[in-house]
Amino acid sequence: MSSKYLKAKVASNEKIAEGIYRMVVEGDYSANPGQFYMLRAWGVEPFLSRPISIHGITDAGIEFLYEVRGTGTEIFSKLKAGDELELLGPVGNGFDLETIKGKVAVVVGGIGIAPMYEVMKHIKDSTVDFYAGFRDEVYSVDYMKEYADNVIISTESGSVGHKGYVVEQLDASKYDYILSCGPTPMMKVVKEMGEKVGTPVYVSLESHMACGVGACLGCTCNTKKGKERVCKEGPVFLGEDVSLDD
Ligand X SMILES: Cc1cc2nc3c(=O)[nH]c(=O)nc-3n(C[C@H](O)[C@H](O)[C@H](O)COP(=O)(O)OP(=O)(O)OC[C@H]3O[C@@H](n4cnc5c(N)ncnc54)[C@H](O)[C@@H]3O)c2cc1C
Instruction: Determine if residue 52 is labeled as part of a ligand binding site.
Output: yes
Q: Which stretch binds ligand X (CB under 6 A): 48-56, 116-124, 148-156, 157-165?
A: 48-56
Binding status of residue 92 toward ligand FES by CB under 6 A: no
What residue 50 binds from ligand FES, ligand X, none (CB within 5 to 8 A, per partner kind)? Answer: ligand X
What residue 214 binds from ligand X, ligand FES, none (CB within 5 to 8 A, per partner kind)? Answer: ligand FES
Q: Which of 120, 186, 209, 244 binds ligand FES (CB under 6 A)?
A: 209
What residue 217 binds from ligand X, ligand FES, none (CB within 5 to 8 A, per partner kind)? Answer: ligand FES
**Residues 143, 126: Cα–Cα separation, whole Å:** 19
Q: Are 183 and 190 contacting, i.e. CB atoms less than 8 angstroms apart?
A: no
Q: Which of 25, 219, 236, 242 binds ligand FES (CB under 6 A)?
A: 219
Q: How many residues bind ligand X (CB under 6 A)?
A: 22
Which residues make up each annotated binding site for FAD? Answer: 50-53, 72-73
Which residues make up each annotated binding site? Answer: 50-53, 72-73, 211, 216, 219, 231
